[in-house]
Structures are given as C-alpha cells and as structure tokens.
Structure 1
Amino acid sequence: MAKTVTCLFGSDSQASAIVRELEQSGISQGKICLFSNSGDNRFWDGTSSFDESSGGAHHDRVEHYLTSNGVPRDDAHAYAEGVRRGHALIAVRCDDDEVDRVVDILDNDNVLDLDERQNAWRSEGWSDYGSGVTDIGTGSATTSAGMMGSAGLPSGGDMRDRDRMEDDRLYAQDRSTGRDEVIPVAEEELHVGKREVSHGRVRIRSHVIERPVQEQVTLSEERVAVERRPVEGSVRAGTLNDGDLFRERTIEMEERAEEAVVSKEARVVEEVVVRKEADQRTETISDTVRKTEVEVDDERGNSVSRTGTTDTNR
C-alpha cells in the first residue's frame, strides 16, 4: 500500500537539494511533491490540480491540494502554515519497499521538527484547527506517514487527538450542538529583550602636510682684493739691498665664506587618544498587552462575573 512521507525544511535551497537526492536514488519525479512560499511548486502525477487562479492565499491552496489528495486535514493545515512562514514542504508518495530509502534521505540535519514548530506557533496565537477547506480526497487509498524532527519517526494525523481538534473548531463559534461550547481565555505577556544597534562611527586618520617656512641667518664672506698703486720718490740708499728688490716672492690669500646648513628634527607636540567608554542606564518600556475578558450574564440570579484568566492563583 502506498504511503506519503512528508517533511518540512527551513529553506527552498535545502528542499531542492533533498529533491535532487531523491531523484538520484531512483524515486520517480511524479512521486515527489514540493511546496515553497516563493511559489516554486511541483505536484504528484495523476492528482487533483493545484488551482493557481483561485482566490485566497498561497498556503490555503497548498492545504486544499494536500487534503484533496489524501493528506489528513490537520497535517495539511500544519504543513501549509509552515509554507506560509517561509519553509519548504516535501511530500513523497512511495511504495512499501521505498519507504525506508525515502525516510533515510529525508532524515536530514535540516529537517524541522513539526511538533516543536507547532508548539512555537501556538504560543504566538496560531490555531492548529483546520482552515475550513473542503476535504474531497479522504477516500484515497494513500496513507500519511509524516516525520518528526531528525529521528524519522511518524507523526501523522492518526497519532493526534481528533477529539481535541474538534473542540478547537468550536472556539468562539455561535452554533448549537449537543457538546460543550468552549471560549478560549488568552492573556499576553510582555517580554523585553535587548540588542546592540549602531549610533554612528568615529574615524580618526592621520596624514602628512607640508608648509613653507622661512628663517634668517647672517653669513660672512671674504674677498681678496688685488690693487696696484704707484710709489712716489725713490728708495733711499741703504734701506734695501738691491738683491731684495729683485728677489722672487709668492703671496697666497684664500677667500672664505659661510653658507647656510639646513637640518630638521622631529618632535612629538601632541597625542590623540581614542577610547570607548560604556555606561549603563535603565529604561522603562511601555506597551500594551491583550487579554480576553469573559462576561457572564446569569439571568437566573441577576449576578455578573468578569474574568480575564482561568488561573485562580492570580
């Protein structure tokens, strides 16, 4: 008897990789169904069509397709909610001899635990009762064998409490039946966390500039002057020897001058220090939370009671 193995993955890319692995293992393309929030869908061969032109949200059409082709309503509702939240659904129709092979492939580290996801969704206000689409495919001979987490254990609709699901469908509905009417009393709690945000950036950059400077310095310079001048009169006799007058002589004088010598010396005149200083402050967060209040008008005793929670210890 054919079985349907269903699995929810976190992203389209993860699901696409699993689909390729299924096909490489010999699973026929017509046995693999894929739904994603992006609309990249593929369907089982020989099944009811997926009405793209019908009204309503994409995940509602996913739920209708699954229920129309034999997936239990509560399972289809949960998987459609996963698709709505951006996950990807893989559903494989396989024969008895293919079940183990399909489960081994779907039992991937990226598979999502459907029960954990539903618990988280319920804590956010999601109701896991059916979306009201018509189930026209419950007569199919195909059964559902879902997966839970990475253990590969079945968690299909047959393992769920159908009576509890039926009670959930009676929430806030004005209809008269032979059963109890149930109104859920809910209350929100405020949880305040914190996160780091950027308030800007300080960038300090050093660079070198040049500026012209001038200094004055006094320099001395020597020059040798050669002058010829006439001598009047004659040399007195006896003052110089005739040999001294005709003696060869050499006189040398050197000219010297000062020139400017430039040298530079670097010295630190200032320091720029950058540091971060942290302090703490207490901020009061104001918001609103909702709760359900139930008023009971008891005409038998003319008394009115009001409650906002079912916890008697509050």
Structure 2
Amino acid sequence: MTQTITAMYDTYTDATAAKAKLVAIGIPEVGVRILSGSEAGTTTGAATTHEGGMWGSLKEFFMPEEDRHLHAEGLNRGGTMLTATVEDGYAERTYDILEEHGSVDMDEREASWRKEGWTGQAAGAPVMAATPVASTGTTGLQAAGATETVAARGTAQGTDYIPVVEERLNVGKRMVDSGRVRVRSYAVEKDVIENVTLHDETVHVDRRVVDRAVTPGDMALFEDKVIEATEMREQAVVSKEARVVGEVAIRKDATQRVETVTDKVRHTEVEVTDERGNVERTGTAGTTGTATRKPI
C-alpha cells in the first residue's frame, strides 16, 4: 500500500533539500514532486478559471477541498509544496525527514492567516455556487434529507423486501500435527569381562648328588653335550565380531473415527402484524387469525 504525504515549506531550498533526503533513503524520485508559488503562477481576479493558474496546478493532487484552499494560499504567499508518494514502510521516516527540513505547521499558519483577514478561500479558486432554495421553503440540506427518507421507505407502488437469512453449518476436515515419534541409533561403549583358561609351561633345572661307578656306556659323558628346553605360555587374544541382534521399526496404522460436532447457527425470523382489521396475515392465501404476533 502507498500513501501520499504533503508538506509546505517557506523556501524552495528547504523543499529541495527534503526531496534529496527522501530520494537518498530509497524513495523513487518520480514519486516526490515539488510545486512552488512561482511555478504554479499567482492569479487573482474573476477571470481565473477552474483549470488554470494556482488552482489548476493543485487540481492534480488528491486532497480535501479545504486543504486545497489552504495549500493554494500558501503557494500564493510564496511557499513551496512537496508531495511524496511512499510505501507504508517509508511513511514514518518520511514524516521525520519532512519535519527535519522545516516543514510548516499548516494549522498554526492557517490561524495566523485568518487573523490577518483570510477567509479560507484561496485566490483564483472557483467560487462555489449557492444551493437553490426549494419552492416549498426548505433548504437544500433538508431537501436532501427528505429525499433520503422517501427512498428508504419506498414509493406507494413499490415493493420492499426483508431478507430471511439462515446460517448453514458446513463441517470439513483438515490435517493437524498431533505429535512426532523419532527413532535414533547411536553407538555406546560398555565394559565386558570374560574368563579364559591359559596354559603355561615352566622349565626347572634340578641337580642331585650321585655316587656310582662309570659304566662303558658312560665313557661318552666326557664329550660336550647340550640339553635345551623351551618354556611356552598362552596369552589372551581379543577380537570383535559385530552381529545384528535386533531391529526397531516405525509403522503407522490408519483408523477412522466418528466425531460429533456441536455448534450454533443463526437465522432470522419475520413477524407480520396487520392492524388494519385486527387480523394477522401470515403470507398464506386465505389464512387469517388473531392480532397476536407470530414469527413467519
């Protein structure tokens, strides 16, 4: 959405400075217009028409009639008018910039001009024609009000209708999020203790005292001889094997249920009271009754 903001300045320099600042903050230059008194032209006298002069220049700007007269008087007195068409997001910043560069308080300026004798009619503006007086002596405003009343009531030959309105309950369906289930797998460590039986071999060297005669077979004992024995020992060897020991799955089951919806609906009722013969006509041909009111 866009809105048009209007400001009046005493000098053309202040107006151009404000325009430059507005363009600098991102407002398109084509959306900022400046109208000075010298450009619009000061016209006085009865020969001025609605399309020319100061008033014709202001006609391009959409504003209330009294504001148009006020700004036209400001231009007549040498002022400069600036209008900016901005997006809603720039509105507050635009107001600040216009005030920073010395925009005129038009309420105070109007009060000052009226003290000087200004009547609220800008020079060169078209003079509004007086409203003709009706032959019956009523004023134009009263005549307009009477016309509205007659139109509201209808003519004697016309037909007015009272609509009968009834609300209907429409029940639909929509999907909503009622919660989420998440399954996540991750690795953890735990201590494991296992017992294993290990076999150890130990070599012992024993020496004993012997006293016997040497036999012929023992003659080789004087030769070099070496006896060796190797100790063996088992050690625990650890290896790991990964096996699938279980599975976790997610599945959804769809079911249907019936839910009762309770609400209220409105409707209008029309009652007809006919006081012409103390009889009530309900709209059905040939049906009459007492004068009690009864909804249709």
TM-score bracket, normalised by the shorter chain, equals 0.3 to 0.5
Q: TM-score normalised to the size of structure 2?
A: 0.44
Q: TM-score, normalised by structure 1?
A: 0.42
If you compute each CA radius of gyration, which structure gives the higher value, 1 or 2? 2
